[in-house]
């Protein structure tokens, strides 16, 4: 067993422990019989625990990808239903932070992708956006140039530095940012997940921009 295997096992154990912490936090916060002195503080703890758990899931996914152990299961998914599920798991923390989390898309719009992998990307991006949004986080999806484009954007100050619009090698690109704390692992993970989606000679890709519908940062996942 080499170091990467040992590291993967350790990450898995830590993720399990965080899962127990999150479950207990959920029960503590959601139980009406518990009168918390500062409910917002409890929600912030849940937010940070969710972010840590998301990072560990990303690391394990990248480990499996690097060892050719990751199976991509592409299925058809209605985007409105998909957004409803994603928002349901993150809405309470956003509300506690006084952030409005919403989505917009055609109710009939569907896409073909691995729901678990793309969901991990969106949950991670939403968790990151919560740190920078002033009041709003918006999810959206539409068809463009033969791709399904899924966006997560916020009304914060936007991505810093000279990040390129299209990211094919996120770790190198992110190092050039003035404030790389916003990105790094999350962007690399999202870029790798996008590139796992391929069809008819086209490959998924990741795009960053500032000021789409909201004035802040916007992450775009282009899936063929």
Between 214 and 165, the higher pLDDT residue: 214
Sorted by sequence, the CB contacts under 8 Å of residue 166 that are 6+ apart come out as: 205, 206, 207
* DSSP structure string for 165-201: SEESSHHHHHTTSS-GGGSTHHHHHHHHHHHH-EETT
Q: Residue 198 — φ and ψ, nearest 5°?
A: -135, 140
Would you state the pLDDT for residue 182? 47
Beta-strand relationship, 136-144 and 100-104: parallel
Sorted by sequence, the CB contacts under 8 Å of residue 95 that are 6+ apart come out as: none
Sorted by sequence, the CB contacts under 8 Å of residue 196 that are 6+ apart come out as: 65, 70, 72, 114, 117, 204
Would you state the pLDDT for residue 83? 98
Which residues are paired to 148 by β-bridges?
143, 223
Instruction: Please count the other Cβ atoms lying within 10 Å of the Cβ belonging to residue 20.
Output: 9
* Torsion sign across C-alpha atoms 172, 60, 22, 17: negative
Between 198 and 20, the higher pLDDT residue: 198
pLDDT over 50 at 211, yes or no: yes
Specify the DSSP element, H or E, that contains 136.
strand 136-144
Cβ atoms 103, 68 nearer than 8 A: no
pLDDT tens figures, 51-90:
888 888 888 888 888 888 888 999 999 999 999 999 998 8
- Report the share of the chain in percent with pLDDT over 90: 44
pLDDT tens figures, 20-53:
888 888 788 778 887 777 777 787 788 788 888 8
pLDDT tens figures, 140-176:
999 999 999 999 999 999 887 666 566 655 444 444 4
Cα 109 to the chain's mean position, in Å? Answer: 21
């Amino acid at each position: 067993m080499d170091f990467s295997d040992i590291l993967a096992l350790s990450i898995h154990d830590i993720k399990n422990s965080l899962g127990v912490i999150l479950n207990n936090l959920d029960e503590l916060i959601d139980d009406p019989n518990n009168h918390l002195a500062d409910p917002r503080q409890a929600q912030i703890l849940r937010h940070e625990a969710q972010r840590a758990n998301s990072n560990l899931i990303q690391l394990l996914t990248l480990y499996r990808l690097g060892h050719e152990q990751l199976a991509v299961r592409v299925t058809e998914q209605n985007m409105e239903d998909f957004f409803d599920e994603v928002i349901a798991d993150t809405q309470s923390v956003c509300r506690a932070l006084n952030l409005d989390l919403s989505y917009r898309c055609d109710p009939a719009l569907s896409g073909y992708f691995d729901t678990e992998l793309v969901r991990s990307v969106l949950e991670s991006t939403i968790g990151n956006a919560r740190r920078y949004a002033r009041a709003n986080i918006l999810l959206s999806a539409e068809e463009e140039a033969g791709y399904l484009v899924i966006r997560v954007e916020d009304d914060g100050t936007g991505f810093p530095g000279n990040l390129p619009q299209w990211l094919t090698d996120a770790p190198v690109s992110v190092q050039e940012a003035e404030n790389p704390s916003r990105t790094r692992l999350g962007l690399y993970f999202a870029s790798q997940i996008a590139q796992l989606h391929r069809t008819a000679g086209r490959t998924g890709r990741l795009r960053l921009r500032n000021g789409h519908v909201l004035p802040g940062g916007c992450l775009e996942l282009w899936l063929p």
